[in-house]
Chains A and B, each alone.
Chain A
Amino acid sequence: KQEVTQIPAALSVPEGENLVLNCSFTDSAIYNLQWFRQDPGKGLTSLLLIQSSQREQTSGRLNASLDKSSGRSTLYIAASQPGDSATYLCAVRGLDGGSQGNLIFGKGTKLSVKP
């Protein structure tokens, strides 16, 4: 059974710092991995999607890497801003066609960027 773990559970940094969020998964047989942002009481905003054949994806100040064989992904945020404060969720999609590709989520990392 796939399990997704995110470390740390919470992180507080001063504005301007570069930071890394970690995600690990137990079953490397994944279809893709997706990073989301969730603001309090809100839904999810998709940040980056990495297919299993890819190593990384970049969008603006965000860079996500994937090492499928070791079951790890990182989300790098450059020059953090207070507006980046949110919970960041990592989710993997398994190869199990029976589940129609639903996502298995980690518990998230709650990021707070102090001005």
Chain B
Amino acid sequence: GAVVSQHPSRVICKSGTSVKIECRSLDFQATTMFWYRQFPKQSLMLMATSNEGSKATYEQGVEKDKFLINHASLTLSTLTVTSAHPEDSSFYICSAREQGFFNSPLHFGNGTRLTVT
């Protein structure tokens, strides 16, 4: 089955530093990947839609200059949290749908637990 690999699974960083999270589709190509954030006891909330070869689309309230998204290839999207603050501590999950299969389910990575101290 389709596999999405997300790395790292857990990261602790100091306030003010930047953190990069990678999301890879291992056995399929994905023109579109989605980045979600989940705070404790809350729903997963879409942050942005990552489009291969073009700019990401951000949801309302998500700062594009703070959460940099790069989707340089059909199998890799990265999310960089710049100048991280403690309030950015959260669980970040990426997902992808196989290119050309509009009806297929989204496949999710295992998530990244970010803790900003």
Task: List A residues at the B interface (Cβ < 8 Å).
Answer: 4, 32, 34, 36, 41-46, 49, 51, 89, 91, 99-103, 105-108
User: Quick one: given A4-B43, A43-B6, are A99 and B49 in contact (CB under 8 Å)?
Assistant: yes
Residues in A with CB closer than 8 Å to B97 are 101
The residues of B with any CB-CB pair to A shorter than 8 Å are: 6, 32, 34, 41-46, 49, 57, 91, 93, 95, 97, 102-103, 105-111, 113
Complex contacts, A89 vs chain B, CB 8 Å: 43-44
25 A-B pairs whose Cβ atoms sit less than 8 Å apart in the complex: A32-B103, A34-B106, A41-B91, A41-B113, A42-B110, A43-B6, A43-B93, A43-B108, A43-B109, A43-B110, A44-B44, A45-B108, A46-B105, A46-B106, A46-B107, A89-B43, A99-B46, A99-B49, A100-B32, A100-B49, A102-B34, A103-B44, A106-B43, A107-B43, A108-B43
